A and B are shown apart, each in its own frame.
Chain A
Amino acid sequence: MSKIVAMAAKDIWILFRDKLGFFFTVFFPLMMAIFFGAMFANLSRGPANIPVALVDEDRTAGSERFVTRLEAAGGLELEQLPREQALEQVRRGQTAVMVTLSPGFGAAMDNPFQTTPRVELAVDPTQFAAAGMTRGILLETAGAELQALMADSARIQATNDRNRRLIEQFTPPSAARDDFLTFIELSSRVSTLVEQLGLDGNATNAVTGGFGPPLEIGQTEVQAERRGPTNSYASSFPQAMLWVLIGGSVSFSMSIAIERSRGTLMRLLVSPITTRHLLAAKGLACLTTTLVTSTALITLGITVFRVKPTSYPLLALALLCASICFCGIMMALSVIGKTEQAAAGVGWGLALPFSMLGGGMVPLFLMPEWMQRLGNISPMKWTLMAYEGAIWRGFTLTEMLLPCAVLLTIGVVAFAIGARNLRWHTG
């Protein structure tokens, strides 16, 4: 038994002597616990506000009252925009959902007996979860508005008066018309009684129930009006191409550690080549591999899965910029870990949280706002934006410049850090 204890103690001692091993054994799980803890703490309070572009084409007191109530309901981060601008935001991925209150919405809200009010949603196809939550909040708000209407005798009286005038104007006197007018009169009394009795929302629902859903919601994907993913593969292939880059850069980041451990790095450095040559060769190998693999993948997507990029030149630009970015990251990672295991640990240890932050695993809207802002430091976020921009978001060259510039900057800075450290490591 003492031999076993001695061997176990030796292994633990070695683990704690290995700073990287210690980091991944102790601090990395702690980091993950904090990450998910922060995310689920947020979920337990309900998700972060979903960015919604609101287009109020009705511009009546009824629609404005609904918007005010919607803002007060929470859960949505409303921005009122003109229709074209709102659509553009959804297309660019800056907003998950566009909600349109068409002309007549306010009147319908004021007179739900005549017409069920209707809103139209235009949804980013990758954000169906956000769309579902938006629908829920819209229905809840419309229900609350209906309750308020039923509990407001003055408003219901005004609505009933208007309806009575319309019936009297357009229908000849008859027993049926008299019965209907009596029904309208009784509904006015219901609201008065609700008001007098001071019934709460649930009781009002019970009294006024049977009117059906308080709101009709139509939903279209953005591509119904603008360019968008031709199918679900157009959304999944950018993700897959992102993982090609991650896998490629992590694999290549191990290559210098492998060269070091097998001694061939020394042999290369003794050859009549400079460190610059070595770096260029590693970068070229990584760039070629990631470019070829990504191109093969999207070619498969185009030919087999009917993915139709909106712009091939921009797709090529996005592929190039993203590959350069991840080759730079590879270089920075490669000099951190001195052994193959450490290099792989560092690579995957950074790739996973950055993927989470960049929306590669968890939709960004589920994260707290500070975490979403933090996602801007993740190259994965900008890679996805560039790929989606070229594949289905229909980015223009100008729109593509931002993600490409960010990717190139990250790539160049990371490559410079890696190159500097490699020179330092190799004397």
Chain B
Amino acid sequence: MLLFDHVSKSFGDLRAVDDLSFELEAGEVFGLLGPNGAGKTTAINMAVGLLEPDEGVVRFAGETFDRDPREAENRQALGLAPQSIALYEEMSSADNLRFFGRLHGLKGPDLEERVAACLDFADLTDVRKKSVSKYSGGMKRRLNLAVAIIHDPDLVLLDEPTVGVDPQSRNAIFDRVEQLRDDGKQIVYTTHYMEEAQRLCDRVAIMDRGRLMALDTVRALIEAYGGPGKLAVRTGDKESIHDTTDPLGTLAQLQERETVEHFQYRPPDLETVFLNLTGRALRD
């Protein structure tokens, strides 16, 4: 559905995206994971045709990937929820949806049907006539997501959709992303929260300073780059941390020598994958 083929993009001396290649598979949630400045948003902007690659090509749709997102009519198949909330706050949620629906060629009963479905998706039906300026941050985030799917696109790009929301609203957004996946949408999901990538994404591309560091399923990435887990053990007044890929075996060995009063095991995750790949923490 979406193809990046050796894509690069620079802004002056800054190489924001450097030789990025990947291809989305059918029905998957594809994660772009990396810290701020990794090049995720630049990649998204190229995917929706807002930016033109300096090198390489971005194509989408069909087996032959023959459509250029820079062509306006091709963008009908794309839906973008930008990182910042992009809504007309003076208008109601229903009117925002109607407006963007019309831009995508919807009208009449089809438009009203999609507006109702999107309001329901965002759980905003009861407040559909209220002006968006009166919404909470979480409600705006949900509407921001709903506007991206008003025209029922096949490919939905979500650029850091949980930035600045409380845990409850974040969970609500996770539910909706999973709902979209269940509806058969292909989703590109950018985030710098490894927990989100780990929970939602079938495959994850780890990016740092514009470069693709690794790309695979979460499990495969952890197996390949996660290294051993961390086993923290307290015996008497002594605490120690042990690197291990077999925490139970390690624990049994320790028990043979001394009494383990308390232990905690932290398996490798995407954070450690990123650390091992780049030498830096994800939130640096």
Contacts and interface: CB of A to CB of B under 8 A. Distances in A.
Nearest to A265: B86
Interface in A176-217: none
Contacts of A270: 48-50, 75, 78, 80
Given A267-B80, A267-B82, A272 B50 contact: no
A263 B52 CA distance: 19
Interface string A240-280: 00000000000000000000001110111111111001000
A203 B82 CA distance: 88
A427 B48 CA distance: 12
Contacts of A426: 50
Nearest to B85: A263
Given A263-B82, A426-B50, A427-B52, A272 B87 contact: no
Interface stretch (B100-108, B164-172, B192-200, B271-279): B100-108
Interface in B55-98: 72-76, 78, 80, 82, 84-89
Interface in B125-152: 147
Contacts of A269: 50
Given A262-B86, A264-B88, A274 B50 contact: no
Contacts of A271: 72, 75, 100, 103-104
Nearest to A426: B50
A38 B170 CA distance: 62
B242 to A, nearest CB: 48
A216 B116 CA distance: 82
A266 B105 contact: no
A266 B89 CA distance: 15
Contact of B50 (A262, A266, A273): A266
A267 B87 CA distance: 9
A427 B69 CA distance: 13
Nearest to A262: B86
Contact of B87 (A264, A273, A274): A264
Contacts of A277: 72
Q: How large is the interface on B (under 10, 10 to 19, 20 to 34, 35 or more residues)?
A: 20 to 34
Interface in A117-155: none
A287 to B, nearest CB: 20
B203 to A, nearest CB: 24
A415 B103 CA distance: 23
A264 B72 contact: no
Contacts of A272: 72-76, 103-105
Contacts of B89: 262
Contact of B51 (A267, A273, A274, A427): A427
A272 to B, nearest CB: 5
Interface in A265-313: 266-274, 277
A279 to B, nearest CB: 13
Contacts of A274: 72
A262 B88 CA distance: 8
Contact of B72 (A266, A267, A273, A427): A273
B86 A264 contact: yes
Interface in B36-54: 48-52
Given A272-B73, A272-B76, A426-B50, A267 B86 contact: yes
A268 B103 contact: yes
B75 A263 contact: no
Contacts of B80: 266-267, 270
A267 B74 CA distance: 15
Nearest to B88: A264
A272 B147 CA distance: 14
The residue among A267, A273, A277 with the most chain B CB atoms within 10 A of its own CB is A267
Contacts of B75: 270-272
Nearest to B89: A262
Given A270-B50, A427-B51, A263 B86 contact: yes
B162 to A, nearest CB: 16
Contacts of B87: 262, 264
A270 B45 CA distance: 9
Contacts of A268: 103
A268 B103 CA distance: 8
Nearest to A261: B84
Contacts of B52: 427
Contacts of B103: 268, 271-273
A353 to B, nearest CB: 32
Interface of A: 262-264, 266-274, 277, 426-427
Given A267-B86, A270-B75, A272-B104, 10 more contacts: A263-B85, A266-B80, A267-B82, A267-B100, A270-B50, A270-B80, A271-B103, A272-B74, A273-B103, A277-B72
6 A-B pairs closest in CB distance: A263-B86, A271-B103, A267-B86, A263-B84, A272-B76, A272-B75
27 contacts: A262-B86, A262-B88, A263-B82, A263-B85, A264-B87, A264-B88, A266-B82, A266-B86, A267-B80, A267-B86, A267-B100, A268-B103, A270-B48, A270-B50, A270-B75, A270-B78, A271-B72, A271-B103, A272-B72, A272-B73, A272-B74, A272-B76, A274-B72, A277-B72, A426-B50, A427-B50, A427-B51
